[in-house]
Structure 1
Amino acid sequence: TNVSCDIKLDDKVHSFPMYTFRKLTMTIVTLLVLILCTGCQAKVGHFLEEFRELFDQHLDRAAPPRTGPKQTSNNCTCGQINTVKASAERIINGTEVNPKYKYPWLAIIIKERRFICGGSLINHKFVLTAAHCLIDRNPALYEVITGVHYVNDMNDGNLPDLSGEPYAQRSTISHIKFFGTYNNDLLNLGNDVVLLKLITPVMFTKQVSPVCLPKYQDSYTEPERDGIIMGWGRTELAYTSNVPNEAVVQIIGPALCRSQSLYGNLVQDTMICASAPGKDFCQRDSGGPLVVKGATSYIQVGIASWGIFCAREKFPGVFTTVANLVNKIYAMTRGGIYCRNPDVGL
């Protein structure tokens, strides 16, 4: 019998919704029929990618931790900032990021045409952000924007005005990958981290490139050291900022944070704290990166998670520690191509 089918697995044409197709391919018998059918216009590579994603959550749970990325390109280097001689004074009590695109890994998370959180590009297919930013777990509700500096009309229910942003890349999301159980419970804010898999990989440019990840369980708090927070969130004058701001803060470990702050045991061992007099991350900076300067690159050590008030004494910003999760991040981003990481030898 000549079995024929009309399945076109590209990004533009489907003879029926992808959700139905995914359900259809849940059995081995169906898979064999699809492979054997004649006249089929399926793109095999795209099909295999979609089929693999059916079992992605199971693969993530079963995947052993990795000490480094599966794929690394020597054609790019992570954690590289853009610098110029000019400096402009302008996150609470922060300074406008200068020059534009200084931190090319900075990302904006959009939900239903509204800016909700920050994030960081870690490879050509994945963005790292906070789990509490994506309580609605439907990928179709969200977008990621990279390569921007000025972002207008973010409070008007419109996607940011990118007409003056020639380097902007807008990406839709195929999968949201959580780490364990996240309940958005004030008394238990662990696992506040999520990976966003982009449908179309970003193109690395001078204005869009990834941040470096740390070595597993490396301590960036002993001795206390400076870090940099960045984002488009609330400033002392406005609910959101039209430009990204940055501030230098002091990073302390969880034990010291519990004793020095008023948070007590709300600060878990998987968290670090960071603050400076009058400086802090605030609303809509959530999910953004806390970075430290390595010998030749910038390394993300934290993800902006939670805090009480903004820039108040005894109430520092609390961040999810990336070094505790980095091996799992590598295991869960098998399809991503990382850039060379000179400071950790990857």
Structure 2
Amino acid sequence: MTIFVSNQTLLKKLFLAVIILNRATSEKNPGLRRDTIAQTQAEGGDSRSLVPLPLYPSLPEGPEEISGSREEVEDNVQKKRRRLDDEVMPRIINGYKAMHDSFPYYTLMLQKTSSGRLRRKGCGATLIEDEWILTAAHCYNQAGDIAWIGAYNAGIKEKKVKVVECFEHPNYNWPEYDYALCRLAKTSSLPKARISEAGFELTHGERLTVIGTGAVFEGGGAVPVLNENKVKYRVKHICENIYGFFQKDSMLCAGGGGHDACQGDSGSPLFYEDNRGYVQVGIVSWGAGCGKQGYPGVYADIAMERDWIDQVICNNSVNSIGSMCRPQSTSRTKTLHFAAPSEQSSTCVDKPGAHWYAGRSWECKKLRPHFCSIDFWRYTCRNTCNNCPKM
């Protein structure tokens, strides 16, 4: 029976009802990119019919366990890589194997079994700061999980680090605001991925790169190799027309028509490329099937919540200082420094004009609140940060 609705709120409620019916499956496999609903135009009006689409396939029961010495694990991985290469297996959905060491910041999430061995959780992440990884909230990562940084791509430089705590976005309500940050027990010296700045916008049709170790065809399982694929960005109003519950404030979409991420890629990064290399713009979140014609994959849009990312890192780092939390060298200025309190003016005023910091120009009156915990800003914007000398 076809159900016709014209109210957007009702549409979302019915969609969430479908999610609840599938919750048992999704909770068993936190890497699942959930199901969605196709919308079609009804005759003679704006009504849309709800057509449930297939779930992204679940990973096989008893996911791959990773144990033994580093040499044994690496040898096992190399054997599996050669076997996959011999079979000329497709990559992600119509993608290909990533070049060695091209994405050393890619992170595979693991968890310990009752026997103490490690197995895949079915989700990826990205190392973006010395002690921070960025992933999807629906992966439900938690303290005690293991982040395998450089998995299947960085060779002997790879590193497994325990997760200490994770922060979901405060507005997370799947599939909206599907962002999470996890702090690691130790810092990593591996290269970090750059992430898009607040307000960054992509161009329709721009070629992006998605990577992951999830299924390479619908109905398949995860693979022991890092794959990449090229997908085209779709402007947000197109995504809204395809998915009635697409939320432009926290989502972007790309791919479809044979090129896509798939189940097991959740939390993995989506990149665009500038003259300095890759910049992460999205986090794999959900979609309709894998690579279905007309149905692009949906990603959490990093630029929309860059302020939240900065705030969490700057307020909760323990063993490092986030790159966005301190002055940096830029092509426009020399390395920034701030004077000691005794060198500052004793008057309680903000220094006038704009100040270059972390790749952007800021005025005191528009300063992010959490920046006031940083000495540079406490003494540059005394009035705004309520850092007035005692009389």
What is the TM-score normalised by the length of structure 2?
0.55
Tell me the equivalent position of 1:194: 180
Q: Taking structure 1 as reference, are residues 138 and 292 closer, same or farther at Cα in structure 2, changes over 3 Å only?
A: closer
Q: Which of structures 1 and 2 has the larger relative contact order (alpha carbons within 8 angstroms, sep 6+)? A: 1
Partner SS state of residue 166, structure 1: helix
User: Residue deviations 1:104-144, cap 9 Å, x none?
Assistant: 2111011333212011110111000000001xx6412x110
Unaligned 5+ runs, structure 2: 1-84, 113-117, 332-357, 361-391
Q: Which amino acid aligns with 1:198?
A: L
Which of 221, 239, 255 is residue 257 of structure 1 equivalent to? 239
Q: Give 2:211's aligned residue.
A: 230
Q: CA deviation at 1:258?
A: 1.7
Which residue of 2 is the match for residue 114 of structure 1?
A: 119
- Cα distance 1:249–1:341, how it changes in 2: closer, same or farther (>3 A)? farther
State the Cα deviation string for residues 193-214 of structure 1 (Å, max 9, x = none).
100100111123xxxx111111
Alignment gaps of 5+ in structure 1: 1-87, 151-163
Please, which of 301, 304, 322 is the counterpart of residue 324 of structure 1? 304
Larger radius of gyration: 2
Describe the shift of the 1:173–1:341 C-alpha distance in structure 2 as closer, same or farther (beyond 3 A). farther
The Cα of 1:328 is off from its aligned counterpart by 1.5
Rounded to whole Å, the distance in 2 between the matches of 1:341 and 1:121 is 21
Question: CA 1:147/1:138 → structure 2, altered by over 3 Å: closer, same or farther?
Answer: closer
**Aligned-partner SS, 2:310:** helix
Question: 2:322 matched to which residue of 1?
Answer: 337
Matches of residues 1-346 of structure 1 in structure 2 within 5 Å?
91-98=92-99, 100-112=100-112, 113-115=118-120, 116-134=122-140, 138-140=142-144, 142-149=145-152, 165-184=155-174, 189-204=175-190, 209-220=191-202, 222-236=203-217, 238-259=220-241, 261=242, 263-334=243-314, 335=317, 336-338=321-323, 345=359
Write the distance in 2 (CA, Å) between the matches of 1:138 and 1:244: 23
**Amino acid across the alignment from 1:323:** A
Q: Return closer, same or farther for 1:225/1:341 CA change in 2, 3 Å cut-off.
A: farther
TM (normalized to structure 1)? 0.62
**Contact conserved, 2:249 with 2:304, CA < 8 A, in 1?**
no
Give the superposed CA RMSD. 2.4
Q: Deviations over 1:2-57 (max 9, x none)?
A: xxxxxxxxxxxxxxxxxxxxxxxxxxxxxxxxxxxxxxxxxxxxxxxxxxxxxxxx
Displacement of 1:276 after TM fit? 4.5
Q: Shift of residue 149 of structure 1? A: 1.5
Give the structure with the higher percent helix.
Answer: 2
SS state at 2:177 partner: coil
Match of 1:15 in 2: none
Distance 1:287 1:342, change over 3 A: farther
1:342–1:212: structure 2 CA closer, same or farther, 3 Å change rule? farther
Q: Give the Cα separation in 2 of the matches to 1:325 and 1:269.
A: 9
User: Residues of 1 paired with 2:207 and 2:253: CA distance?
Assistant: 11
Q: How many residues align?
A: 231
Runs of 4 or more above 6 Å deviation: 339-344
Q: In structure 1, what is the Cα distance between the partners aligned to 2:164 and 2:125?
A: 16
